[in-house]
Amino acid sequence: MAATQQGSSTIEPATVQPPRLEAVPVRHPGRWVAAVLVGLVALSVVVSLAKNPNLDWPTVRRYLFSDLVLSGLWTTVWLTVAAMAMGVVGGVVVAVMRLSANPVLRVVSGAFVWVFRGTPVLVQLIFWGFLGAFYPTTTIGIPFTDVVFFTGRTSDLVPATVAALLALGLNEMAYASEIIRAGIQSVDSGQVEAAHSLGMTSGRTMRRIVLPQAMRVIIPPMGNETITMLKTTALVSVISGHDLMSNIQAAYAQNFKVIPLLVVASAWYLALTTLLSVPQGWLERRFGRGVAAPGPRGGLGRLVSFRPGASS
């Protein structure tokens, strides 16, 4: 206090114009050195990989766009998309059920999550894939009566692709519902009260007010889930599904070119996850509106957004 008083008494406010000062931002010379070092290391790794004869680049090139790989890729992509769609839509329903005031809905959804999250997804795949062995015929009717609407062979009703989708989708539903539940609970209860006080029903409040705000919390872990799903689809080989990884395994089982074929698989998985970060970044920005600090940019954006400090 004493110092400022002293200071203000020596300066005459009206007459003395403070000189315009130039602001010098903090410089980061260390970053440039680090960038160069990292660049050098990366370059040497790339060169050594390119020159390594064991990697057998001609084989990689031959298989990268082969029909076998591309058809596996297609299966992987649509299975991932379909299972995730099922997971998200069903997950919202299960999450809302778990948070419902209705005890029947709470118990049913709790049991669903308990079973499908608590057992290995491989077991679930095998169960759906071999459903016909447990229940050779499927009948739809009124239980404990003779009324039957429909009956048919289970293996016709649930072919391998449907089984794969059911297994992955239901499993994802259980996981997604917990992520979505956490997202819903992260929204301040004052938002719900305000919506109710305006005459909005619970359903409309959930759709219009809670879920859009919960999305901000839900999207990053759901991005993780999608990437995990991309690779989990490889498990469908056990019920003779033909995804990317299964086809690659089938190929190297015959020609023993394990490493180059695994490079092919990795290249495709990496390409897919990179592509996925684009919609993720877009969604994060879309649902981050109104939040003071903007979230990080999507993966691709991060890769290309190397900005050196203020250089003028």
Helices 160-186 + 211-232 axis angle, to 10:
150
Tokens at 290, concatenated:
């109104």
Query: Which residues, in sequence order, are bridge partners of residue 141?
Result: 148
Q: Least distance to other proteins from the beta carbon of 283, Å?
A: 13
By beta-carbon proximity to other proteins, the closer residue of 73 and 206 is 206
Q: Least distance to other proteins from the beta carbon of 210, Å?
A: 10
**Which residues lie near other proteins (CB under 8 A)?**
188, 190-191, 193-202, 204, 208-209, 212-213, 287, 289-292
Q: Least distance to other proteins from the beta carbon of 128, Å?
A: 38
Around Cβ 277, how many Cβ atoms within 10 Å?
Answer: 19
Tokens at 159, concatenated:
């072919």
By beta-carbon proximity to other proteins, the closer residue of 123 and 194 is 194
Burial class of residue 93, CB neighbours in 10 A (0-12, 13-18, 19+)? middle
Q: Least distance to other proteins from the beta carbon of 106, Å?
A: 18
The Cα–Cα gap between 198 and 208 comes to 13
Q: Least distance to other proteins from the beta carbon of 191, Å?
A: 6
By beta-carbon proximity to other proteins, the closer residue of 99 and 126 is 99
By beta-carbon proximity to other proteins, the closer residue of 195 and 245 is 195
Q: What are phi and psi of 164, to 5 degrees?
A: -60, -45
By beta-carbon proximity to other proteins, the closer residue of 187 and 264 is 187
Q: Are 59 and 260 in contact (CB under 8 A)?
A: yes
Instruction: Name the amino acid, one letter, at 90.
Output: G
